Chain A
């Protein structure tokens, strides 16, 4: 039975690790300025964890194989050094890893969430609701109109509750159902939720952020490739949660400008 246990654990370890190493299922290639940092962090953690995973499972397997009672009445052995090597090993090994990963990771995290907004950033206002996203561009005046929840009228396309009759800044706001951005230009999103909690997630951009009702949350990214990728919701928001998505379209700057003009004309 001990041998069987050891073999099963060894096989499971080999297969699991193998699938990770072979990257059979893996992150999609990143299209973001910050992607490399996150991927590097993930890679480092994967290697360190992988080594620990394989080592500990194999040691367990070997020990069980070796120390199953063979009925020979041999005396039991205490691990040399007692508990001290374990405490030292755990503290030093894990401690060093923690130190390194925290130092590197904090820089990556700060890059995403703690950098001041780029003055050159394109500001887009995002509203999440059950079960769609709407994206608002400030238009020619560069200012956003003030949203009024009581004026929201989805049926008439007034998703943000704007009041163009009385609010001049709202008149040229552009509302779209896709997030269209120019490539290689910083984008600043301001996220707000209309009803319940939602989230914004684009795996390729390596960004994710919750929408919290009552708060307006900033999120920055810079897309580095011309692509069309999905934005999906990762915060449970009701029955349509699985189907709540929009498209991120990264366009070359001239095509983006053209798109913006076309939208403004409508």
Chain B
């Protein structure tokens, strides 16, 4: 054999390094670049667009519902043509009301509050914030969006089946949801499509959670230690872990529900039920089993909806207060504590469900304890505002508004967490007011804050600040006017999920319902300002600089919008924490995360 010089020893370490650095090839072709894109930035924007369509749909449904509640006998123009059987002459039937309510809740919780704050912003921002070129599994990432979109379409298909959309609420309690057509209108094909849609949704979200976790653990840039990660990254990472556990349980629940509906099994249906005069052939199932499985997912789900907001507020507030977040380690610990505790409280939705009354205390105590880390977070934010030099941009205003509405929503939860009080308030409008404040308002404010903040980075253009401030001011007033009165209704014993108030004692609450409807329609109309701002700014907004907010995290060290591989082939090296504001740096009163170590004095 000829004597060839031995090639340099390529150790295993180098091989591994080569694998870790994703070699990015710029996409070519319209479909690959804009439709079936592997780029996390495009996928994030696709999720946000999906959430936008979903929220508009959900909002229209809520207008229809609120109008019917205020004026039950008045015909709604056009409704008769859209739903000839269920709204003959334009007057909504009770079953249509309940169907719209079910779809409203399902669309809002799943396709708005789980997509936008987490999959939408998280996908766009997280890889850049940790210094990576893309998510760990771009193909799974793309799949997660398209699977979610399919889930949305399957859900919308329920509007078009002969039996109509399901009417068992977004909570779909068995046996109403499990029996099938016998249970009444809406419980035919529509309910099966609902269960199928949610099952598909679970798969999409699990693929997403996979990416968030692997990217955060494995693809951080050099110097990006865990404690230097921005709070939004922490929040998305923790949310992904919550989602992993939650959706892993919801998927089996939906599969078992589908089997009960189509395969004749009896996981959730007991024996001896007579529905619509027919003795049901099922036996031995447990409706409480569905409740346990659903709420084991359902309670962590609401933290999936709100934790990204916590992260976004914690990230944005320091930018506009020009000082670091108060208590960074405490903040992260609180978010983690909330995530952990969220798995111990699900029974507080079931105090009156017939489960063992002793378990009520078991669930009530951690529910009350969760108040502590949540309160600490609120105090940390308020403490960050203290002594700051607030730049009251729209993004900042929505952060401050978030604090206000989250306090309001959280406090009403304090009542419901106590079983003896829940005995009275369960199933009333007090609950509706509570969850709308924390989810429909606070989480939405988090989405708004994120939008006004990251829009320049995403689209390379600035949003209009004047329109933004008007949007904020009117929305803040509008949401309080809409949802605060619901607490009063609840105290008076006004029951929820009613399509009309015909009971003697509820008839008197009609004027307050009319007020709420007016406020809701007003607040909905105000969102047009936001919509106009979004569209107009995307087309004609002022060109955005790299760092319009003088922020420090890595996404602000790259162009607006970033190149396809985020950092232009360079790998950032991080030497600073995520919120070094209020110290003198080369560009002003802040030090960028990727600035060299010699930068900045306290």
Contacts and interface: CB of A to CB of B under 8 A. Distances in A.
A joins B in a complex: yes
Interface of A: 1-2, 4-5, 8-9, 12, 16, 19-20, 24-28, 37-38, 41-42, 45-46, 49, 52-53, 56-57, 59-60, 63-64, 67-69, 74-79, 82-83, 86-87, 89-91, 93-95, 98, 101-102, 105-106, 108-110, 112-114, 129-130, 149-150, 152, 154, 161, 194-197, 199, 201, 203, 206-215, 217, 229-230, 232-243, 245
B404 A57 contact: yes
Given A4-B473, A5-B397, A214 B184 contact: no
A83 B390 contact: no
The 8 tightest CB contacts between A and B, nearest first, are A83-B327, A214-B270, A77-B387, A234-B427, A203-B493, A113-B357, A86-B379, A25-B488
Nearest to A42: B421
A102 to B, nearest CB: 6
Interface in B312-366: 321-323, 326-327, 330, 352-354, 357-358, 360-361, 364-365
A212 B492 contact: no
Contact of B480 (A16, A197, A201): A16
B378 interface: yes
B24 interface: no
Contact of A76 (B321, B365, B403, B408): B321
Interface stretch (B27-35, B50-58, B501-509): B501-509
Interface stretch (B74-82, B210-218, B231-239, B280-288): B280-288
A27 B424 contact: yes
Nearest to B480: A12
A214 B185 CA distance: 23
A46 B424 CA distance: 14
A26 B492 contact: yes
B526 to A, nearest CB: 14
B88 interface: no
By size class, the interface of chain B is: 35 or more
Contact of A26 (B273, B361, B491, B512): B491
A87 B378 CA distance: 11
A76 B579 CA distance: 14
A24 B492 CA distance: 10
A234 B360 CA distance: 19
Nearest to A98: B368
Contacts of B582: 75-76
Interface stretch (B252-260, B369-377, B450-458): B369-377
B330 A79 contact: no
B387 A68 contact: no
A64 B390 contact: yes
Given A101-B418, A214-B286, A232 B391 contact: no
A130 B94 CA distance: 14
A89 to B, nearest CB: 6
B477 to A, nearest CB: 6
**Residue among A37, A108, A195 facing the most chain B CB atoms (10 A cut-off):** A195
B185 to A, nearest CB: 6
B386 interface: yes
Given A237-B176, A239-B184, A241-B98, A206 B497 contact: no
14 contacts: A12-B477, A41-B418, A45-B418, A63-B382, A75-B582, A76-B581, A86-B380, A105-B419, A201-B495, A212-B353, A217-B354, A235-B173, A235-B427, A236-B176
B287 A102 contact: no
A89 B488 contact: no
Contacts of B566: none
**Residue among B354, B384, B419, B504 facing the most chain A CB atoms (10 A cut-off):** B354
A95 B493 CA distance: 29
B3 to A, nearest CB: 68
Contacts of B487: 20
Contact of B287 (A1, A12, A214): A214
B400 A28 contact: no
Contacts of B383: 79, 83, 86
Given A238-B176, A239-B93, A197 B497 contact: no
A79 B387 contact: yes
A218 to B, nearest CB: 10
Nearest to B364: A102
B499 interface: yes
B385 interface: yes
**Residue among B98, B403, B491, B500 facing the most chain A CB atoms (10 A cut-off):** B491
Nearest to B415: A45
Contact of B179 (A90, A113, A196, A245): A196
Contacts of A60: 382, 385, 400, 403-404, 407
A212 B176 contact: no
A98 B417 CA distance: 10
Contacts, number: 314
Interface in B381-406: 382-392, 397, 400-401, 403-404
Contact of B275 (A26, A195, A207, A242): A195
A92 to B, nearest CB: 10
B495 A209 contact: no
Contacts of A59: 382
Contacts of A87: 327, 330, 376
Contacts of A52: 407, 411
Interface in B446-504: 469, 473, 476-477, 480, 484, 487-489, 491-493, 495-504
B326 A78 contact: yes
Contacts of B525: none
A64 B382 CA distance: 9
Contacts of B93: 239
B373 to A, nearest CB: 8
B528 interface: no
Nearest to A212: B354
B227 interface: no
B285 A214 contact: yes
B488 A199 contact: no
Contact of B397 (A1, A152, A203): A1
B423 A203 contact: no
Given A64-B390, A76-B321, A90-B379, A239 B505 contact: no
Given A2-B390, A19-B488, A109 B419 contact: yes
A70 to B, nearest CB: 8
B271 interface: yes
B415 A42 contact: yes
Contacts of A237: 176
Contacts of B542: none
Given A102-B368, A208-B423, A236 B168 contact: yes
B279 A210 contact: no
B274 A77 contact: no
Contact of B424 (A98, A203, A209): A203
Given A27-B491, A90-B372, 14 more contacts: A57-B404, A77-B387, A98-B369, A102-B365, A109-B419, A113-B360, A114-B358, A154-B277, A195-B273, A208-B426, A212-B354, A239-B98, A242-B502, A243-B500
B420 interface: yes
B427 A208 contact: yes
Contacts of A91: 372, 376
A223 to B, nearest CB: 16
Contacts of A57: 404, 407-408
A59 B385 CA distance: 10
Nearest to A72: B389
A12 B173 CA distance: 37
B309 to A, nearest CB: 16
B516 interface: no
Contacts of A212: 287-288, 353-354
Given A98-B368, A206-B423, A25 B288 contact: no
